[in-house]
Amino acid sequence: MSKNQNKTGSYGFFNCIEKNFDKAAQFISIEKGLLEQIKACNSVYRMHFPVKIGKEIKVIEAYRVQHSHHKLPCKGGIRYSMKVNQDEIMTLAALMTYKCAIVDVPFGGAKGGIKIDPQTISSENIEKITRRYTSELIKKNFIGPGIDVPAPDYGTGEREMSWIFDTFLSLRSGDVDALACVTGKPVSQGGVRGRKEATGLGVFYGIRELCHVKEDMYSVGLDVGLVGKKIIIQGLGNVGYHAASFFHESGAIIIALAEREGAIYNKKGLNVSKVFLHLKNNGSILNFPEAKNIKNTEKALELECDILIPAALENVIHKNNANRIKAKIIGEAANGPITPEADEILDKKGVIIVPDIYLNAGGVTVSYFEWLKNLSHVRYGRMEKKFRENVNAEFLKVIETVCKKPISIEEKKMILRGPREIDLVRSGLEDTMINGFHKICDLKKSLKIENMRTAAFVLSINKIIDSYERLGIFP
Ligand code: GLU
């Protein structure tokens, strides 16, 4: 057993990322010290604070890790889960650094976590814990529009981000940029339209792009295009839920959906919106009338399919099940769902893995748009929507005169429309995901790198090196 392996024989999560980093470093010729600096976590804040729950005082364990300060602010979500630990949060913070660099989002990576199970705690108590955590971050200067900007992650959402903002504002009243201290807020509280579904939509754009690359599709024996591809999604949180909807709408066939309590399967395809309605009404996806139950949820990962999307937690594909995975493509919607040992097994089998540091970057990309919106204090499209509509109307008049043919009302409506915030956000996200994909593939080709993950790391590390070289080392 190597020094990096834990008792169960698998690597610690941070070591997994170090392994991926080291593979990529072989393609980069740069001073070793700089690579070591990029790899290291700059600041780790581990805290314990008391919260009164009922008549009892509970001591809460929480973290905020800033992996890199090569760009500021630092950026990354906050997760609420009983599995939260320092190694996990450090790793997720590092992934944020690499992710942001790939999609040209000018932030250093960070991550936070509170060790609680939000499903067993009342919302009043979750609010108390969230507000106390925020005040701890403020005390230590670990939050602020130019310092470190949290966002939602596993177990958190708009509600928590709203509380974080409100706590920040009450302790920093008068800060005109306070809204930009956190992203993923509700639209009514300074959020941006399209943030909620951004990670799932980014996953969809990334996989759609891959499915249009002939060479790649033929290499795994699939036809070009997304229509008709058989997909399994594991995890129906915010990311999996939206990804499933976008894939379904685009004509892909969702053959299985997996949740904690079990999975459901129908080889002809599941009607995703009906499944979600069933989930809402019954609190579980199991016993959906048009599907078979699979009691052992892990078995769903091993079903025959074209594309597997793990969208829940890390390390779900490991050395003990990797050999049984039958998917031809794996899209990492979650952070770190495949261990390095499993990665090697799947690589040998010829599976195309679209790595997390690219594929789930849609969330932070739209968080960047939200942060910019908050700093500019104006909604996207507000200044130009009407102007564009007026210009379009003029164009239309000219076209009708030149063509001597009237344009139908439906066509007119489409052409006249000026951009709304959601249109701008989605097109910005689509462009980012398409660009990121091709940059990774171009680098993979030009350096003859064996897989997308290593190519994505090389792309990312090169960009971080570039900023360090321009910044210099102080003093
Ligand atoms: N938690 C998300 C992630 O892991 C979003 C982070 C953010 O928007 O800052 O990418």
pLDDT tens track for 70-124: 999 999 999 999 999 999 999 999 999 999 999 999 999 999 999 999 999 999 9
pLDDT at 438 over 90: yes
Mean pLDDT, rounded, of the chain: 95
- Residues 153 and 312: their CA atoms lie apart, in Å, by 10
165 in the same domain as 54? yes
pLDDT of 4 higher than 60: no
Q: Is 111 annotated in the active site?
A: yes
Question: Does 5 score more than 70 pLDDT?
Answer: no
Could you tell me which residues are annotated as the binding site for NAD(+)?
Answer: 199, 238
pTM: 0.95
Mean pLDDT of the 177-183 span: 98
| Assigned domain for 253 exists | yes
58 and 180 belong to one structural domain: yes
pLDDT at 470: 87
Return d(Cα 71, Cα 102) in angstroms, integer. Answer: 13
Q: Cα of 406 to ligand 1 centre, how many Å? A: 48
Compute the Cα dihedral for 177, 182, 184, 187 and give only its sign: negative
Tell me if 156 CB under 6 Å of ligand 1: no
- Count CB neighbours of 72 within 10 A: 16
Q: Are residues 180 and 241 in the same domain?
A: no
Residue 327 sits in a domain of what CATH number? 3.40.50.720
Q: Is 76 in the pocket of ligand 1 (CB under 6 A)?
A: yes
Alpha-carbon span 448 to 389, nearest angstrom: 48
Residue type, 377: H
| Domain coverage including residue 52 | 41-189
Note whether 143 and 244 are same-domain residues.
Answer: no
Same structural domain for residues 54 and 180? Answer: yes
Nearest to 62 by CA among 148, 145, 142: 142
- Counts for the chain of helices (H) and strands (E), in that order: 16, 12
Average pLDDT rounded to a whole number, residues 374-387: 96
| Same domain, residue pair 182 and 215 | no
CA contacts within 13 A on the Cβ side of 236: 26
Annotated binding site: 75, 99, 199, 238, 367
The total number of structural domains that make up the chain: 2
If asked whether residues 227 and 346 sit together in one domain, one would say yes
Q: Do 66 and 110 form a contact (C-beta atoms < 8 A)? A: yes
pLDDT at residue 473 in the model: 77
Kind plus residue range of the DSSP H or E element containing 257? strand 253-259
Q: Are residues 72 and 90 in the same domain?
A: yes
202 CA distance to ligand 1 centroid (A)?
A: 12
Domain end point (choices 137, 169, 189): 189
Asked whether 202 lines ligand 1 (CB < 6 A), one says no
Q: Which two tokens stand for residue 474?
A: 């102080």
State percent of the chain over pLDDT 90.
Answer: 93
Give residue-wise pLDDT tens across range 297-350.
999 999 999 999 999 999 999 999 999 999 999 999 999 999 999 999 999 999
Quick one: tokens of 426? Answer: 């989605």
**Last residue of a domain, which of 125, 154, 189?**
189
Residues 293, 315: contact at Cβ < 8 Å? Answer: no
Query: Does residue 33 lie in a domain region?
Result: no
Residue 11 has a pLDDT of 61
